[in-house]
Structure 1
């Protein structure tokens, strides 16, 4: 199959480059001008893995308005707050067709409802990725973690057993060493990642630390338990069954933080560059589910305010 990546950022580069290196045709679509122009200037994207073996990987990159290709599958990786405008621009450019499928493994929740405005529900594939990647600047990316450690889940937006197209996409991802695991329920699958991120991403951002530094604090399991119990209580009231038990999720906070000990989560990467974070689509989404089902996630609501306070206070710390 031929793939098109919408959003040439950290994860867009990760999926696109790994698919391309496995032999698939990949085109990249991006609207961030410094990124696109840097790619064209240097002849590709600069890729390292764990800060080692940096090299230029040639790629094809386009603004939506100049793209004339027709991929079988779009892969979307945009920030939640940017997605609606991105999709409108792509539609105006005429790059979507009714026969195309779309896959996304963005952080947070709310993106599939936006994507469903432009694609048939049975053409939408949902994903989550335990794959750490850093975008250090325009056209400059660092794949974190040893080769073969990538892990992701994939599900159909409409649920059920995988279709032939879904099986083909999973086979392509497997060939690209992305290690897909199928889940029959997209909502439980996606919320599992949201709940994990609501602990690790958010707390690492608040204290501006790497995951390995974060997990060194002996109080992390207790902090994780408080946040996770609220999230699980809210999801249970909403009828959402997560992939892991509460204990398994707490254990994964420790295991994954050690595995990616030098990684700054994507929320921190945004915060450190004075960009808005996605906390409203992570902790805020959990709190929203709770409120909708007569349950107040007090810790998550407080954490959302803390992150927004930190964002606001940056104006007083400018050198």
Structure 2
């Protein structure tokens, strides 16, 4: 498959490496000039489960989109949620009537932005439980195992969605076709709304968070707020299962991982996606008359920390 990946950070690099190794035609686009230059000169130089790996593939800056042939069957988005609208506007030349978009971003509400740029029947939504980090420009750290769940957003996209699942699965990305991706997106948002935010505020990895005596109450309360709001959007979250799913990460093979929000805020002093995670639940809660005091406080604390660190 001819695939363009927009966003060549840790996760974009992981997908690029695995899809390229499986024989797909992969092109990268990224807004980080140093990263583009490093990959252009030396390829993606990954630490892949502890072993060095180098994969060469074409990469362009966002400002160079006009130089890319608009031939991609699939565009996979790995940009930050707060950059989604601007990025889609920058790459709209690539979004032909024959192009599909796969959005695997953390958080809630991305389809509202994406429908401005692509027909609903060419939009695929999903979640991924893969992890990745960046050691520096062109140097991702790819550790552990994961999976992907995706579904067509419109009524007419299932055939292509199934094709994408097969391509991803052939690349070792453990993809499945979802019958209810909306539920999975809310479930994944609970993961981000607990692990990402709490690790960022406490400046710890997931294992360290799990070792605190406060962690169970934090998780249960935040999940309950997500579930209360989700029910107003037709999603009935299984709170016990979601809690267990998150708690298992404290002792799993990715326990010492620092989530993406930690990498953005604490390590790199960049703005976060909080408004699409806990912030989205807070806003939706106000809309539906559902109190979400934990999500409100977490959102405000993350924004305060952004003001301190992101100067």
User: TM-score of the superposition, structure 2-length normalised?
Assistant: 0.93
Matched, 1:267 2:268: no
Find the counterpart in structure 2 of residue 144 from structure 1. 143
Checking the alignment, whether the CA contact within 8 Å between 1:235 and 1:290 is kept in structure 2 is no
Among 246, 252, 256, the alignment partner of 1:253 is 246
Q: Which moved more, 1:13-22 or 1:306-315?
A: 306-315
Find the counterpart in structure 2 of residue 87 from structure 1. 88
Checking the alignment, whether the CA contact within 8 Å between 1:72 and 1:101 is kept in structure 2 is yes
Checking the alignment, whether the CA contact within 8 Å between 1:128 and 1:152 is kept in structure 2 is yes
Q: 3-state DSSP class of the match of 1:78?
A: coil
Checking the alignment, whether the CA contact within 8 Å between 2:210 and 2:247 is kept in structure 1 is yes
Consecutive unaligned residues in structure 2, runs of 5 or more: none
Q: 3-state DSSP class of the match of 1:173?
A: helix
Q: 3-state DSSP class of the match of 2:91?
A: helix
Checking the alignment, whether the CA contact within 8 Å between 1:80 and 1:108 is kept in structure 2 is yes
Q: Deviations over 1:17-65 (max 9, x none)?
A: 11111111111122321111111222x0111124x21232111112312
Closer, same or farther: CA 152–159 of 1 in aligned 2, 3 Å = farther
Q: Which moved more, 1:60-69 or 1:226-235?
A: 60-69
Q: 3-state DSSP class of the match of 1:178?
A: coil
Q: 3-state DSSP class of the match of 1:55?
A: strand
Checking the alignment, whether the CA contact within 8 Å between 2:207 and 2:250 is kept in structure 1 is yes
Aligned ranges for residues 114-193 of structure 1 at < 5 Å? 114-145=113-144, 149-158=145-154, 163-193=158-188
How well do the aligned residues superpose, as a CA RMSD in angstroms?
Answer: 1.7
Find the counterpart in structure 2 of residue 107 from structure 1. 106
Task: Output the CA distance in 2 between the equivalents of 1:248 and 1:110.
Answer: 23
Q: 3-state DSSP class of the match of 1:46?
A: strand
Q: CA deviation at 1:271?
A: 0.5
Task: Output the CA distance in 1 between the equivalents of 2:134 and 2:24.
Answer: 23
Q: Deviations over 1:279-318 (max 9, x none)?
A: 1110001112211111120111011111112222337xx9
Task: Output the CA distance in 2 between the equivalents of 1:188 and 1:88.
Answer: 28
Q: CA deviation at 1:69?
A: 4.7
Q: 3-state DSSP class of the match of 1:103?
A: strand
Q: Deviations over 1:248-270 (max 9, x none)?
A: 11111111232211210000000
Task: Output the CA distance in 1 between the equivalents of 2:166 and 2:11.
Answer: 19
Aligned ranges for residues 1-319 of structure 1 at < 5 Å? 1-42=1-42, 44-50=43-49, 52-63=50-61, 64-91=65-92, 94-145=93-144, 149-158=145-154, 163-242=158-237, 245-259=238-252, 260-272=254-266, 273-314=268-309
Task: Output the CA distance in 2 between the equivalents of 1:72 and 1:313.
Answer: 42
Q: How many residues align?
A: 306
Q: CA deviation at 1:219?
A: 2.5
Consecutive unaligned residues in structure 1, runs of 5 or more: none
Task: Output the CA distance in 2 between the equivalents of 1:282 and 1:257.
Answer: 21
Task: Output the CA distance in 2 between the equivalents of 1:188 and 1:285.
Answer: 16
Q: CA deviation at 1:182?
A: 2.2
Q: 3-state DSSP class of the match of 1:223?
A: helix
Q: Which moved more, 1:214-223 or 1:100-109?
A: 214-223
Q: 3-state DSSP class of the match of 2:51?
A: strand
Task: Output the CA distance in 2 between the equivalents of 1:60 and 1:165.
Answer: 25
